[in-house]
Amino acid sequence: MAEKTCSSAASCDKSSCEGCPSAQAAQPESMLEALNCYSEIKHVIGVVSGKGGVGKSMVTASLANMLAAKGYRVGVMDADITGPSIPRMYGLTGLAEADDEGIYPRLTDNDIKVISINLLLPDPESPVIWRGPILAGLVKQFWHDVIWGELDYLLVDMPPGTGDVPLTVFQSLPVDGIFVVTSPQDLVKMIVKKAYNMASTMNIPVLGLVENYSYLVCPDCGKKIPVFGESKIQEVAEEMGILVAGKMPIDPKLTELSDAGEFAKAENPYLDAAYAALQILGIKDSSEK
C-alpha cells in the first residue's frame, strides 16, 4: 500500500480537509474541487486533442517519462475514461488499492503514479457506457479521492474533443496549462482554435502545440516522408502566438514499447520544447518563493 505523505496527517481528522495546510481548498467563488489532505500538487497540466488516436496518451506518457527521468514527482490521471490506455502502456494490471482514506494510485516501473478507470473496474475490457455527468463526476473523484501524495506535476490525459469531461477538468482542477496534440491531416487550425477558445474562456493557457505523425524516416535512405501531408503546424502556431512544442515522427520503437506494456523504458526525444515549457513553470515556482 502506498505510504501516506500528508504533511499534516497528525492534525487531519480524516473526515474533512478543513484546516489542513496541505489541502488545496476550493475558493468560495470558483468551482475548483478541493484536494484531499494527503495530496499536494504543484502543477496540473492537461493534454488535449480534437479527436481520438492522434497520440494524446503517447504525448502524456512521454512527458511523464521525461519529468520522472529528471527526478520530478509525477502523476498521470487518465481522464480518457471511455478509451483509457495509460495502464496498458505501462503494463499495469489488476486493481488500485483503496481504503477509508481514499484510492491509492499504482506506480509504474519508473515511479510515475497512475490512476485510471481500468485500475478500478474488475474487467478492463468491459466498455464504460456511462453518460457525461457520471464520467465528469469520476474525474472529480480522481482529483479528491485519490491519495496522490506530493507531486511536482500531475498530467491529465483528457478524452478527445470538448465534451463534459474536459469541461469538468478545466472548471474543477487548477489547470496551469494545456498541450494540444494534432496530426498533419487534422483540420489543424479549426481543432487548435476550438481547444484554444475553450481553454481561454476558462483562463487556461495553451502551453504549446504538438504535431504527431509528422513524418516517417525511411529506414534505408533516412529521408523524411510526410505520410499524412505537409505540416501546417508552424504557420498555425505563429498565427495564434502559440509555441510549437514538438513534431513527433511515426516511431515504431514507441509503439513497440507501448504495446508491450514497457513504456517506462521509452525515451521520446521529440518533445524537448514541451519539456522546457513545463520546466519554466517550475522555475516560476522557485522565483515566487
Pick 160 or 177: Cβ nearer ligand ADP: 160
Pick 21 or 163: Cβ nearer ligand ADP: 163
Selected from 162, 168, 172, 258, the binder of ligand ADP by CB under 6 A is 258
Pick 50 or 177: Cβ nearer ligand ADP: 50
Pick 133 or 252: Cβ nearer ligand ADP: 252
Residue type, 201: T
Pick 75 or 184: Cβ nearer ligand ADP: 184
With contacts defined by CB under 6 A, name the span among 143-151, 198-206, 228-236, 249-257 that binds ligand ADP. 249-257
Pick 19 or 53: Cβ nearer ligand ADP: 53
Is residue 261 involved in binding ligand ADP (CB under 6 A)?
A: no
Show the binding pattern over residues 153-192: x = contacts ligand ADP (CB under 6 A), - = does not. ----------------------------------------
Is residue 251 involved in binding ligand ADP (CB under 6 A)?
A: yes
Selected from 4, 52, 193, 261, the binder of ligand ADP by CB under 6 A is 52
In the complex, minimum distance from the CB of residue 208 to ligand ADP, in angstroms, rounded to a whole number: 16
Pick 26 or 227: Cβ nearer ligand ADP: 227
DSSP letters for the chain: -PPP--TTGGG--SS--TT-TTS-PPPTTS-PPPPPTT-EEEEEEEEEESSTTSSHHHHHHHHHHHHHHTT--EEEEE--TTS--HHHHTT--SPPPEETTEEPPEE-TT--EEEEGGGTSS-TTS-----HHHHHHHHHHHHHTB---EEEEEEEEPPSSSSHHHHHHHHHS-EEEEEEEE-TTS-HHHHHHHHHHHHHHTT--EEEEEE-S--EE-TTT--EE-TT----HHHHHHHHT--EEEEPPP-HHHHHHHHTT-GGG---TT-HHHHHHHHHHHHHHHHH-
Q: CA 23, CA 37: separation in Å to the nearest integer?
A: 5
State which of positions 70-99 bind ligand ADP (CB under 6 A): 85
Total number of residues that touch ligand ADP (CB under 6 A): 17
Is residue 56 involved in binding ligand ADP (CB under 6 A)?
A: yes
Q: Count CA atoms within 13 Å of residue 227 on its CB side.
A: 13
Residues binding ligand ADP (CB under 6 A): 49, 52-58, 85, 212-213, 248, 250-251, 254-255, 258
